[in-house]
Amino acid sequence: GESVGLHLPTLSVQEGDNSIINCAYSNSASDYFIWYKQESGKGPQFIIDIRSNMDKRQGQRVTVLLNKTVKHLSLQIAATQPGDSAVYFCAEKSGGSYIPTFGRGTSLIVHP
């Protein structure tokens, strides 16, 4: 069936390094993608989104890359800080549905 998944359950990085969190999706009709950050004890927080007519979008210290050919999405965090430690979820929506499908999440651990 259609699914959204994350390659790695946990990613450990040193403070100051760049982090890359990956996400694979299988629904070729997906046209809208969202990254969320969930800190311990809090709800998911919107980080950045991208539509399928784009392959890259940048925010503050974050970049989302979309490769529709291989159905792959990534979130790059520049100069990772301890405050970036959280679980990161990708979600996707297709034009035929208004409900996003969420992946399991990747836990990012930033070591000082």
Partner 1 sequence: ETGVTQTPRHLVMGMTNKKSLKCEQHLGHNAMYWYKQSAKKPLELMFVYNFKEQTENNSVPSRFSPECPNSSHLFLHLHTLQPEDSALYLCASSQGQLGNTIYFGEGSWLTVV
Point out which residues bind partner 1 (CB under 8 A). Answer: 31-32, 34, 36, 41-46, 49, 51, 89, 93, 95, 98-100, 102-105
Task: Report the alpha-carbon distance of residue 50 to residue 12 in Å, rounded.
Answer: 25
Closer to partner 1 by CB, 15 or 100: give it.
Answer: 100
Bridge pairing between strands 62-67 and 10-14:
unpaired
CB of 34 to partner 1, least distance (A): 6
CB of 14 to partner 1, least distance (A): 26
CB of 51 to partner 1, least distance (A): 8
CA nearest to 38, candidates 96, 110, 93, 105:
105
Closer to partner 1 by CB, 65 or 102: give it.
Answer: 102
65: β partners:
56, 74
Closer to partner 1 by CB, 7 or 46: give it.
Answer: 46
Closer to partner 1 by CB, 3 or 18: give it.
Answer: 3
Q: Which residue blocks in the chain are alpha helix, DSSP H?
A: none
Name residues whose C-beta falls within 8 Å of residue 60's C-beta, 6 or more positions apart in sequence.
none
